[in-house]
Structure 1
């Protein structure tokens, strides 16, 4: 593989990793929002709770609703952990690829300078 092709491949891979990293960050932010939306702590004990089923709101027992929300919160928290692991992995891979690209660019610049100074 030629030097130019290696540099281009490394740059393309770095851009792909950056896009994946951005998507993972957005996923993490969505999960944080979902976590906030599913809090029942502020409800009064006698508050009415309704569940949307299709186009209809159905009154729901607070214990059942709390159980459902707790399950949902557990799921969201496990997804947050998964995405955080993914973020750490992508960040590490992205940094390594960035250093590879920078190193290839330096080598390329040195070769260009060497060719132009030998003329």
Structure 2
């Protein structure tokens, strides 16, 4: 019986670890989605500007003048990168969820087996 308890303890620890990883990945995705929203808003603002409008980029405490096409390209590049990262994180989340579900099923099977053996001993 102690062998089952050790296995169950190990699986429980694995499950908790996977849940922690899942939480971290979900937070990362939320952060990326927030950045995506910000950059999409900036892109919409750029669309409203004239081609000769003054655009400034903050680098540390300094504002540097930037060409509109250069600024638009930078924001579009950031959006592409963010979209790729979101897809990567979503794939990671799916993988963690699958592993977590397998461990959960295994835990339930061991618990059922332990209950059945206890009932058999009691009978």
The TM-score, its normalising length taken from structure 2, stands at 0.87
Question: Any residues of structure 2 matched to 1:88-103 within 5 Å, and which?
Answer: 88-103=94-109
C-alpha deviation, 1:107, in angstroms: 1.3
- Could you list the per-position Cα deviations for residues 52-110 of structure 1 after superposition, in whole angstroms to 9, with x for gaps in the alignment? 11111122111110011111111101101100110111111111111011111111222
Q: Point out where structure 1 has 5 or more consecutive residues left out of the alignment.
A: none
Q: Point out where structure 2 has 5 or more consecutive residues left out of the alignment.
A: none
Question: Any residues of structure 2 matched to 1:54-65 within 5 Å, and which?
Answer: 54-65=60-71
Question: Any residues of structure 2 matched to 1:9-28 within 5 Å, and which?
Answer: 9-28=10-29
Q: SS in structure 1 opposite 2:44?
A: coil
Matched residues, number: 117
CA distance in 2, matches of 1:97, 1:104: 11
CA distance in 1, matches of 2:117, 2:18: 27
State the match for 1:79 in structure 2: 85
CA distance in 2, matches of 1:15, 1:109: 23
CA distance in 2, matches of 1:69, 1:75: 10
State the match for 1:36 in structure 2: 37
- 2:119 maps to which of 109, 113, 118: 113
